[in-house]
Each structure stands twice: as structure tokens, then as C-alpha cells.
A and B are shown apart, each in its own frame.
Chain A
Amino acid sequence: GENVEQHPSTLSVQEGDSAVIKCTYSDSASNYFPWYKQELGKGPQLIIDIRSNVGEKKDQRIAVTLNKTAKHFSLHITETQPEDSAVYFCAASKDTGNQFYFGTGTSLTVIP
């Protein structure tokens, strides 16, 4: 099966700085990579996703990059704000599976 590794497990940044979270995956057949944000007391919510035919995708202050050759993808948050503080999960999936394999999560703290 697929194995997704995520780093770092915790990350603290000053407000306004950038944050980067990295994930690697093992199955070269994976072709869909979502990122989820989980705020305290809530379920995870999709914030951005990327498919394997695209190298980069951006949505306002967040962006995701994908390197299929190296089998890794990253989440970039620019101009961080206190409301970005949350746990972030990456995941990988194959079209045929309908199943996601999640990373272990990164707890991001943005210090005002």
C-alpha cells in the first residue's frame, strides 16, 4: 500500500513569515494530493489539492508544489496569520481507489 510521510510534526512561525510543510509518498501510481486543515474541535477541511498532471497550484496565500519524479509535494503558506494556526494533513490517492492515505500531521502555530 501507500506510505505517506510528513515533516515537520510541529512548526512555529512569526506572523507574516512563510510556512512550508513537506510530504513524501511511496506509490508512483498515486495521482491526487489533497491538503487538509484541522482547527481545534473540528474535522479536517480541504484547503487545496493538486493532481499529478500539474506541478504547482496556488490559491491566494497557499500553494502546493508536486515533484512526481522525487515523489514529494509541499504546502506553502505565505504571509501567515494567527488564524492559520491549526493541524495540517497531507494525503495521497489513486484514481481507482477512492481511498486517501494521510500523513501524520503538522501542528502549525503562528505567533502574533
Chain B
Amino acid sequence: DVKVTQSSRYLVKRTGEKVFLECVQDMDHENMFWYRQDPGLGLRLIYFSYDVKMKEKGDIPEGYSVSREKKERFSLILESASTNQTSMYLCASSLRLAFKPISSYEQYFGPGTRLTVT
């Protein structure tokens, strides 16, 4: 059974703290993604990675950074948390479509981390 796990379900941090959100997948997927989910705004892509040590900015990268040192692990970092970063954070992974067709483009999601910054 495919699995994406996130380090915390709920997290409360103070303004200005450095925050680490961890995501691990066990499917040997090349792609990994970080989204934030807010009511009425859907899922917005923060960053994604298509290989170890590679990263690409998504639609809302400001205030965030990422790290991918191992294929199975993708970390989201809030360098100095602010109240407007209070949100649900979702991690996902997928196979990478490169130079050969793949059987599925499906992105597999973790259960999410509800982050509150006070």
C-alpha cells in the first residue's frame, strides 16, 4: 500500500520561529510536492522537487524553502514563521514523467499538517 507520511498532524509555533515540516514517501517516487490548503483557495503549490537536491518554485514560494537530501524525504522550512502562514500543509509524491511513458500520473498525498502560528 502506497504511503506518504508527514511528521506532525498538528503544530503550534510562535511568530519568528523556524519551522520544519517533514514528509516521507515509501514508493520510490522521483517527484515530491508541498502544497498549502486554505478555504476558498484550494491547493496552491509552494515548491516541488523532481530529484534529489533539485527544487523548483511553485506559485507561492515566498517565505518558504525546501530541502531534499534523500529521494524519500522532502522538507519544508519556514525560516521565520508569520501568522499568515497559518494553514494546512499537504505533501504529495508521484512518478516522474521524463522520457518514457508512465502508467500513472497520480499524485499521492499525505494526511496534512495543520500549522498554527501565534
Contacts and interface: CB of A to CB of B under 8 A. Distances in A.
Interface of A: 1, 6, 9, 32, 34, 36, 41-46, 49, 89, 93, 95-96, 98-100, 102-105
A9 B59 CA distance: 22
Main secondary structure of the interface of A (DSSP, over half): loop
Given A98-B31, A105-B42, A32 B4 contact: no
A36 B94 CA distance: 14
Interface residues of B, number: 26
A49 to B, nearest CB: 7
B90 A44 contact: yes
A39 B92 CA distance: 16
A45 B110 CA distance: 9
23 contacts: A1-B59, A6-B42, A34-B105, A36-B109, A41-B111, A43-B4, A43-B109, A43-B110, A45-B109, A46-B107, A49-B105, A95-B97, A96-B97, A98-B31, A98-B50, A98-B97, A98-B105, A99-B48, A102-B43, A102-B44, A104-B41, A104-B42, A105-B42
Interface of B: 4, 31, 33, 35, 40-45, 48, 50, 58-59, 90, 92, 94, 96-97, 105-107, 109-112
9 shortest A-B CB distances, which residue pairs?
A43-B109, A104-B42, A102-B43, A102-B42, A46-B106, A44-B109, A105-B42, A43-B111, A43-B110
Nearest to A106: B42
B103 to A, nearest CB: 12
A32 B102 CA distance: 13
Contacts of A6: 42
A46 B90 CA distance: 15
B102 to A, nearest CB: 10
A99 B94 CA distance: 10
